[in-house]
Structure 1
């Protein structure tokens, strides 16, 4: 099988431009690729970086690391429980700037045991999709205003995975989203379903907000050695290894390489190099042609949009 992780040359230190004056918001910033993104983007002089997470100690360590290298860069840790939409909405109020240039929806869970969120939704879908949809909804007004500013380049990234291919036959099983969705291959279907949503939803956002000058993208970072993949029980680690090494024909990358895809999409690529609403494989490869009919279905996109809006409207 072809290796899906053939990287183009991209050096974030040299190719990310000066981000002077820009404000950035990254979810899941205390570890893994989120943390790597905070550190990398801070080197290019943004005005402020917000990042979310649950680990306050890890957050303070990251703030200290950024300050040691770039003492003028302002950072804010936003503690957020992504299993609770009320908590997510409340936490978004800690964002106090009048502009937002980059929103990186990076946080996520993978192959976790069956369960439901505080609000009663299957956990992968609740965290990977619904929580980020709430963040986008809450921060969209300030991003819309930012996009009206001269020379603006507002981008919203949703981190996905080639595990979207493991989605159920109907794409998203809406009828059982308020259950743990147990069953044979349940964790693969649950995760795949949420990662499919991370492709379909940005595409629908691009269609619905095409007049805002905001760029919405879904980005696959590649198969990366982060706590998301390595801090797993032995059975799940074997499953990940089977999927990554055998089915996908790739090897796990280090974070230094794995961060490149989202950094390229967030700041490395020029605006006119990006196709709004599209799916990108590492690094910078427009990959809509790799999506199946379900992932490209307008009917699924509209159903997911309606379902999501209905959920968010109750909080």
Structure 2
């Protein structure tokens, strides 16, 4: 046992870990868990590529991190996960940086948004939380495989999901709410289930070529992710979490909420545990609908078709 738990912070996870010579990509790096993840990895010596919708804001965060860690190697890359064209452009920009990749942390996301569609017509939460990260991940696989070959250890892909995935499975027949009425809670839950399913299939397809994949539940934390939520939405969240007393009252700090992602990216305790669902710096268990290998394969094939544009 590592002694870690729900209150463990990123710096505690990384104590004694030297990431010099390693390169990480962190999406959603301009606020909340993404900024803390990037800072913590840089503090342990990793070169970090901060990927975010606003490239100027990403550069400003990089400057702030350099203020704390003067010798940090940081790069800012603009990527709008709700636009396939910019995801492809971001992958090209990362290619130009010219570094094999050791870590990809798919951290960005939106939650409980009003109905909307991405630039490519996907439902906004499914398109951003799953399809954008799916495309970025698949485009960066050659660089991750290069990183694994160079270091002699598997590269890791860490995707931030949520225990909200338990509420609803992915509707493979209508993931973009074309036929069914839109429900923001259903849409968010299915996007988070898709994050877990992608992890399962990524591990299945690419473990033999040096990739380890993990899905992470960060815990409940006050970040900008809740910016779309109304008072009624918070009441509905409270109702849905009724089986977990105190869940919404005991919020994690940002360093504690980001800790499981950092642990997933770096801990030797997870060698050989690829495909796992993690929470509170430990191995958990995803719902059956999000861990089913047949569904995972079907979602992967659907995602390939949807993003091939």
Compute the TM-score of the two structures, normalised by the length of structure 2. Answer: 0.89
Give the secondary-structure state (helix, strand or coil) at the position aligned to 1:256: helix
Matched, 1:64 2:63: yes
What residue in structure 1 maps to residue 280 of structure 2?
Answer: 282
Most deviating of 10-19 and 215-224: 10-19
- Taking a change above 3 Å as real, the CA distance of residues 294 and 82 of structure 1, as seen in their structure-2 partners, is same
Check the 8 A contact 1:12/1:264 in 2, yes or no: no
What residue in structure 2 maps to residue 40 of structure 1?
Answer: 40
Check the 8 A contact 1:114/1:181 in 2, yes or no: no
User: What is the number of residues matched between the two proteins?
Assistant: 300
What residue in structure 1 maps to residue 112 of structure 2?
Answer: 111
CA distance in 1, matches of 2:275, 2:63: 36
Most deviating of 104-113 and 300-309: 300-309
CA distance in 1, matches of 2:41, 2:170: 34
Check the 8 A contact 2:102/2:156 in 1, yes or no: yes
Extract structure 1 runs of 4+ deviating beyond 4 A.
Answer: 8-11, 271-274
- Taking a change above 3 Å as real, the CA distance of residues 148 and 34 of structure 1, as seen in their structure-2 partners, is same
Alignment of 1:67-216 (within 5 A): 67-95=66-94, 96-167=97-168, 171-179=169-177, 183=181, 186-216=183-213
Matched, 1:237 2:238: no
Q: How far did residue 303 of structure 1 move?
A: 1.0
Alignment of 1:257-272 (within 5 A): 257-267=256-266, 269-270=267-268, 272=270
Q: How far did residue 36 of structure 1 move?
A: 0.8
Matched, 1:299 2:284: no
After superposition, give the CA deviation of every residue in 1:116-157 in whole Å (9 maximum; x if it has no partner).
111111111100000001111111001112111244341100
CA distance in 1, matches of 2:138, 2:165: 23
Q: How far did residue 87 of structure 1 move?
A: 1.4
Task: Give unpaired runs (5+ residues) of structure 1.
Answer: none
Among 291, 304, 307, the alignment partner of 1:309 is 304
Give the secondary-structure state (helix, strand or coil) at the position aligned to 1:224: coil
After superposition, give the CA deviation of every residue in 1:205-250 in whole Å (9 maximum; x if it has no partner).
1111121121100011111111112563322233334444x34331
CA distance in 2, matches of 1:243, 1:33: 24
CA distance in 2, matches of 1:254, 1:273: 27
CA distance in 1, matches of 2:211, 2:272: 11
Most deviating of 230-239 and 215-224: 230-239
Give the secondary-structure state (helix, strand or coil) at the position aligned to 1:45: coil
Matched, 1:220 2:217: yes
- Taking a change above 3 Å as real, the CA distance of residues 272 and 238 of structure 1, as seen in their structure-2 partners, is closer
What residue in structure 2 maps to residue 28 of structure 1?
Answer: 28
Quote the RMSD (CA, aligned, Å). 2.2
CA distance in 1, matches of 2:170, 2:36: 31
Give the secondary-structure state (helix, strand or coil) at the position aligned to 2:157: strand
